[in-house]
């Protein structure tokens, strides 16, 4: 080492990331334990959720986040909230990527003031019902997956602590949506929504039921983003997290809708080699995948990539070579989850990459077409996926408005009637996806094309498809079912629907029984 005077180095004061001269006493003593001993001693692994909450310094009024990859089998949110409530915290904002039926115990935490405000993609069951009946003073903010991602990455939705359940994790925090070391336990596949929370949260706690040896590669969440790891007995009910394979519908109405939708896709001009697509997990959507597969084989057309929530149907097409690549933000069934683990070109992506309007490139913008479901569609092509026919919150925005905005052709599939309730109506209860971004509505009794897309209309007519107008579909529905009496709403606003650019698209009002 040559002798030098630090201050005499030319321009040294202008060099950034230079912290003065080296000093030996600042270098830590080396750890001489073996790798195996070391990982057993990992300081990140804590004995309890309570201890982790203490260490991250949770305070009243902070924002905490969760993901919804465990769907209706999730134990993590209720488990963590019970601990937080017991520790006496108040006034928290719960910003989950979504919430579902199993999260009804949150009602008590809301009543007791532990939770002051909720941000989510959706609400269902008892919790949705309670919110619709005026449970909360602060309206629930509903964001699409892309809108939430944008809010997080812009820093506007600041997460203080993320509590992220993971089916496997090593002692340093490398977490996965499956377990590579054994076939036991829970499995959710992609950790797409959790990835973004881990990246942006001030503090990130992984909660796992399978602590595996380092390195838990390839990982969904890297240790560099993880503060603490807590091992618990169970993070969820495997049967609630995933069904073995998403069931294939036998409902003739859904099959008819799927046939019409498939024929519309084939006639649209977007069905050519190297096309791209996203499909939902609803009965009709899955049937579209099946019919489209036959058309692809018949016409020797391959799909370049399939995006989104991924199902076993898409995986099957991938393994047959019909779908070249899969971009997966959320795995819908066990086949899809195992494919994330086993297929090289089944790529896990985060919520921002999936659908944010704000980043430098989101995959929804590379979609040829998307197949989406709907609770209601109105004659302006606006879609409701949030409130039921009784006005009660029982759905989720999900990626609906994001993919609708991104795809060249947005196809909404729905029956003309559900039981007695018309799906096609004059005005939807709640606008989740604006009609401007919806191109085609396929029902069991005809196809309506947005007047903004005359070329699609022309192609469908030429292909001999049963094309009609959205007004005629509405009239037919009302002729069969009768015109329903409107829902009785109060004045109180209980929910706010954010569009994907985080502007207020609609509000949900309290329901009066």
Partner 1 sequence: MEEFFVMEIKKTGVAGTMESSDIIVSIEPKETDGIELTLESAVMQQYGKQIEKVIRETLGELGITRAYVNAVDKGALDCTVAARTAAAAYRAAESTDFVWKNGGVK
Cβ(314)–Cβ(306) below 8 Å: yes
Q: From CA 414, how far away is CA 443, in angstroms rounded? A: 5
Q: Which residue lies nearer to partner 1 by CB, 391 or 401?
A: 391
Q: Which residue lies nearer to partner 1 by CB, 237 or 390?
A: 390
Strand partners, 449: 440
Cβ(177)–Cβ(187) below 8 Å: yes
Smallest separation (angstroms) from partner 1 to the CB of 125 = 17
Does a cis peptide bond (omega within 30 degrees of 0) precede residue 65? Answer: no
Q: From CA 307, how far away is CA 323, in angstroms rounded? A: 10
Q: Which residue lies nearer to partner 1 by CB, 454 or 484?
A: 484
Q: Which residue lies nearer to partner 1 by CB, 269 or 484?
A: 484
Smallest separation (angstroms) from partner 1 to the CB of 322 = 36
Q: Which residue lies nearer to partner 1 by CB, 301 or 421?
A: 421
Q: How many C-beta atoms lie closer than 10 Å to residue 55's C-beta?
A: 14
Helix (H), strand (E) at residue 377: strand 376-378
The site for partner 1 (CB under 8 A) is made up of 389-390, 418-421, 479-482, 484-485, 487-488
Please give the distance of CA 404 from its chain centroid, rounded to a whole number: 15
Q: Which residue lies nearer to partner 1 by CB, 49 or 416?
A: 416
Smallest separation (angstroms) from partner 1 to the CB of 77 = 30
Q: Which residue lies nearer to partner 1 by CB, 319 or 390?
A: 390
Smallest separation (angstroms) from partner 1 to the CB of 460 = 27
- Helices then strands (H, E): number in the chain? 16, 28
Smallest separation (angstroms) from partner 1 to the CB of 264 = 27
503 Cβ contact partners less than 8 Å away, ≥ 6 residues apart: none
Three-state secondary structure along 282-307?
CHHHHHHHHHHHHHHHHHCCCEEEEE
Smallest separation (angstroms) from partner 1 to the CB of 287 = 20
Q: From CA 234, how far away is CA 278, in angstroms rounded? A: 32
Smallest separation (angstroms) from partner 1 to the CB of 310 = 30
């Amino acid at each position: 080492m040559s002798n030098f005077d630090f201050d005499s180095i030319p321009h040294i004061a202008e060099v950034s990331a230079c912290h003065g001269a080296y000093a030996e006493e600042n270098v830590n003593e080396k750890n001489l334990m073996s790798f195996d001993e070391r990982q057993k001693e990992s300081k990140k692994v804590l004995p309890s959720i309570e201890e982790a909450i203490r260490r991250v310094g949770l305070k009243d009024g902070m924002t905490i986040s969760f993901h919804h990859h465990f769907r209706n089998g999730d134990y993590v949110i209720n488990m963590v909230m019970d601990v937080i409530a017991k520790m006496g915290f108040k006034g928290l904002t719960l910003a989950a990527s979504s919430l579902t039926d199993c999260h009804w115990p949150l009602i008590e935490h809301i009543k007791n003031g532990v939770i002051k405000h909720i941000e989510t993609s959706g609400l269902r069951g008892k919790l949705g019902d309670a919110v619709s009946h005026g449970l909360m003073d602060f309206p629930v903010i509903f964001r699409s997956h892309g809108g939430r991602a944008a809010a997080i990455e812009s820093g506007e939705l600041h997460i203080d602590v993320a509590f992220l359940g993971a089916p496997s994790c090593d002692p340093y925090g490398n977490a996965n949506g499956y377990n590579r070391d054994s076939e036991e336990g829970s499995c959710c596949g992609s950790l797409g929504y959790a990835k973004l929370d881990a990246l942006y949260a001030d503090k990130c706690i992984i909660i796992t039921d399978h602590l595996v040896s380092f390195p838990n590669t390839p990982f969904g969440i890297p240790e560099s983003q993880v503060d603490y790891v807590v091992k618990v007995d169970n993070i969820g009910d495997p049967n609630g997290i995933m069904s073995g394979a998403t069931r294939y519908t036998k409902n003739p109405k859904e099959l008819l809708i799927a046939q019409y939708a498939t024929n519309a896709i084939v006639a649209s001009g977007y069905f050519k080699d190297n096309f791209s697509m996203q499909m939902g997990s609803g009965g009709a959507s899955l049937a579209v995948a099946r019919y489209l597969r036959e058309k692809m084989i018949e016409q020797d057309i391959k799909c370049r990539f399939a995006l989104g929530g991924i199902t076993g149907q898409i995986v099957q097409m991938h393994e047959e070579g019909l779908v070249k690549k899969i971009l997966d933000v959320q795995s819908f069934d066990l086949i899809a989850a195992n494919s994330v683990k086993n297929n090289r070109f089944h790529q896990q992506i985060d919520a921002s990459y999936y659908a944010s309007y704000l980043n430098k490139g989101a995959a929804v913008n590379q979609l040829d077409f998307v197949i989406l479901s709907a609770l209601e569609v109105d004659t302006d092509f606006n879609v409701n996926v949030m409130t039921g026919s009784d006005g009660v919150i029982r759905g989720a925005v999900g990626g609906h408005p994001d993919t609708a905005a991104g795809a060249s052709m947005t196809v909404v599939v729905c029956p003309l009637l559900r039981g007695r309730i018309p799906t096609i109506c004059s005005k939807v209860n709640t606008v989740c996806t604006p009609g401007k971004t919806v191109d085609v509505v396929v029902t069991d009794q005809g196809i309506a094309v947005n007047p903004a897309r005359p070329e699609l209309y022309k192609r469908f007519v030429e292909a001999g498809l049963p094309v009609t107008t959205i007004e005629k579909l509405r009239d037919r529905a009302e002729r069969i079912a009768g015109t329903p009496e409107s829902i009785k709403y109060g004045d109180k606003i209980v929910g706010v629907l954010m569009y994907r650019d985080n502007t207020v698209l609609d509000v949900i009002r309290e329901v009066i029984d």
